[in-house]
């Protein structure tokens, strides 16, 4: 039986911040994520819950939350309760958002109490900035199982001066040259709602991977961004997350050519061509990122030893017990992160020099 929800008072003053939370079968974590929004020290928010075709009871929880607090919480869903993916679901949330500012929270992560207050303060202080991004804590300690528990750790800060507006498209160049190492968690982002709508928001074709990088590419290429060192959210680490699932499927492989990255780079090429972007550092970074896909055999020859080790690790995954395999995979992940960090630092030094050079952004096409 369908339950009629109370009507929202559309004549009430809109909130300053709309938090969009997409959920799909995350009942285990869902209420904790919502509670972290309720616990914010900044009170002027609304929460837009977007059901992407859940079937585990989380939809019913969202519906009851919206019924109990209709002035601040609304639940929306696709026609026929369809599962259309993260991008289409976030777009639906953006369409229903009434706030001046737009923040995102995945349903398995949580905000820390000052998250919204800090971002709103900065957006008010810097009216020329369209996007604020902070840092997260990689959250392992939520797991009570001693066998799998790990210490929490902080997301590395970006290798550039914090608290200084960054001109476009410098962060997009950094993102490409670091092979995604500098991509922030979506719970770290707050932007002006009209800017997301102006640049076109998300792309529905990116259902589960790189959907955040698509939006970042649009904002980074057109808008000023403020990056801060504050750690204001907890990014839950668990094997059921989208990233871990895509890694197991082989759709997304950090640091290696993979189908998800190729789809993003192909899209970005078309997007920059359509916008007539002629920024030379950005075009160079994109060309370098696309090189493995345009010259696959040359790339394989250049990485033959690493490919052989990867094949050996895959064979080991099929035969080794998880207790022995876990430290091997963890070591490899750390090696990839270290390599990406070196690339990010190198690009960050260039970016820092550009930031400290007066009017450097005016000469980027010469």
Instruction: Establish if 211 belongs to a structural domain.
Output: yes
170-177 and 280-294 helices, crossing angle to 10°: 20
Helix segments in 303-365, DSSP class H? 304-319, 322-355
Instruction: Establish if 95 belongs to a structural domain.
Output: no
Instruction: Establish if 303 belongs to a structural domain.
Output: yes
User: Which residues of the chain have a pLDDT value below 50?
Assistant: 1-7, 10-11, 146-147, 359-366
pLDDT at 264: 96
Helix segments in the chain, DSSP class H? 27-38, 58-68, 86-96, 115-125, 170-177, 193-199, 211-222, 242-249, 259-274, 280-294, 296-302, 304-319, 322-355
Count up the domains in the chain and report the number: 1
pLDDT at 73: 97
Instruction: Establish if 85 belongs to a structural domain.
Output: no
Q: pLDDT digits over 224-240, tens only?
A: 999 999 999 998 876 65
Instruction: Establish if 100 belongs to a structural domain.
Output: no
pLDDT at 6: 41
Instruction: Establish if 365 belongs to a structural domain.
Output: yes
Instruction: Establish if 328 belongs to a structural domain.
Output: yes
Instruction: Establish if 52 belongs to a structural domain.
Output: no
Residue 219 is part of which domain span? Answer: 108-366
pLDDT at 35: 97
pLDDT at 214: 97
* Token pair 């968690």 in the structure block, residue: 185
CB 17 within 8 A of CB 101: yes
CB 33 within 8 A of CB 108: yes
């Amino acid at each position: 039986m369908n339950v009629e929800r109370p009507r929202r008072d559309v004549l009430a003053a809109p909130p300053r911040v709309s938090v969009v939370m997409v959920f799909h079968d995350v009942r285990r974590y869902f209420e904790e994520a919502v509670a972290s929004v309720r616990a914010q020290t900044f009170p002027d928010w609304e929460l837009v819950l977007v059901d992407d075709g859940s079937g585990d009871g989380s939809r019913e929880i969202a519906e009851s939350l919206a019924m109990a607090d209709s002035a601040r919480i609304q639940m929306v869903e696709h026609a026929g309760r369809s599962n259309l993916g993260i991008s289409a679901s976030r777009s639906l949330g953006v369409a229903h958002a009434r706030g001046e500012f737009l923040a995102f929270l995945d349903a398995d992560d949580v905000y820390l109490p000052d998250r919204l207050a800090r971002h709103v303060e900065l957006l008010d202080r810097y009216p020329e900035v369209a996007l604020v991004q902070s840092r997260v804590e990689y959250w392992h300690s939520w797991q009570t199982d001693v066998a799998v528990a790990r210490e929490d750790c902080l997301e590395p800060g970006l290798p550039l001066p914090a608290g200084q507006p960054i001109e476009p498209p410098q962060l997009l160049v950094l993102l490409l040259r670091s092979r995604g190492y500098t991509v922030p968690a979506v719970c770290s982002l707050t932007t002006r709602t009209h800017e997301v709508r102006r640049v076109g928001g998300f792309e529905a074709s990116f259902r589960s991977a790189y959907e955040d990088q698509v939006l970042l590419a649009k904002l980074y290429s057109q808008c000023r961004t403020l990056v801060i060192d504050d750690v204001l959210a907890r990014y839950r680490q668990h094997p059921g997350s989208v990233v871990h699932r895509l890694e197991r499927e082989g759709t997304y492989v950090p640091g290696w050519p993979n189908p998800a990255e190729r789809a993003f780079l192909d899209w970005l090429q078309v997007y920059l061509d359509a916008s007539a972007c002629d920024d030379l550092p950005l075009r160079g970074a994109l060309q370098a990122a696309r090189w493995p896909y345009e010259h696959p055999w040359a790339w394989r020859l250049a990485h033959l030893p690493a490919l052989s080790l990867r094949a050996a690790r895959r064979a080991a995954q099929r035969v080794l017990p998880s207790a022995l395999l876990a430290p091997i995979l963890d070591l490899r992940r750390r090696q990839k992160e270290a390599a990406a960090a070196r690339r990010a630092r190198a690009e960050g030094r260039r970016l820092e020099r550009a930031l400290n050079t007066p009017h450097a952004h005016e000469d980027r096409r010469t």
